[in-house]
Amino acid sequence: MESCVCYATLDAVGKMVVANTEIPAGVILALIGAPYFLYLLLKGLRT
C-alpha cells in the first residue's frame, strides 16, 4: 500500500518539477532509492 502512495506522489512531483516536461516516476524513485540502498548496504557491511 505504501509503495502505491509513494509512486503516485513521485509521479505528481515529476509532473510539477519542470514546466511542460514530465520526469518519469521511476527516475525520481531511482534518484532517491539508489543512495538509500547504498547506505543500507554499507551500514550492513560495517556490522
Q: What is the pLDDT of residue 28?
A: 87
Q: What is the pLDDT of residue 39?
A: 95
Q: What is the pLDDT of residue 38?
A: 95
CA separation for the pair 34, 47 (Å, rounded): 21
On whether the CB atoms of residues 32 and 14 are closer than 8 A, the answer is: no
Q: Is this prediction's pTM over 0.75? A: no
Q: What is the pLDDT of residue 46?
A: 82
Taking the domains of the chain in order of start, what are their residue ranges?
Answer: 2-46
| Mean pLDDT, each 10-residue run in order, the chain (47 residues) | 84 84 87 93 87
